[in-house]
Amino acid sequence: MLVARRTTSPPNVGPVRTCVGCRGQAAKRELLRVTAGSGTDGQPAVLPDPRATAPGRGAHLHPTIECYDLAVRRKAFGRALRVSPGICTEPVGDYLSSRGRPR
């Protein structure tokens, strides 16, 4: 006799977020969180937050250069993080290009 009904639903993707670049939805863990902070020069900058531990407002992005470029062109980081649209986003670009290799 088969018993033990488990309550785990199969598509266990967890929370879903919208990418600020392509505006597609994806599981939160597949997206890179970014936050507003200070760059190495002390200027306001958008910083990658791969461990999602930084306090404050965050935005989510597919960890690809394509979505990063889209977000930059749309000034989506500034809007999503409620900071100046001209904020420096290079730390995120650097992060992605140093890590981003097509699979």
Report CA dihedral (61, 63, 67, 68) to the nearest 10 degrees: 90
Ranked by CB distance to Zn ion, the top (closest) residue is: 19
Among 34, 46, 67, 81, binds Zn ion (CB under 5 A): 67
* CA 76 to each of CA 13, 39, 79, 80, 87: distance values in angstroms, whole numbers, following the listed order: 25, 18, 5, 6, 11
How far is residue 59's CA from residue 78's CA, in Å, rounded to a whole number? 10
CB of 24 to Zn ion, least distance (A): 5
Q: What does residue 93 show for φ and ψ, rounded to 5 degrees?
A: -60, -45
Identify which of residues 39 and 65 has a Cβ nearer to Zn ion in the complex. 65
CB of 34 to Zn ion, least distance (A): 12
CB of 19 to Zn ion, least distance (A): 3
Single-letter amino acid code for the residue at 23: R
* 63 touches Zn ion (CB under 5 A): no
- Give the footprint of Zn ion on residues 31-60 (CB under 5 A): none
- Chain positions contacting Zn ion, by CB under 5 A: 19, 21-22, 62, 67
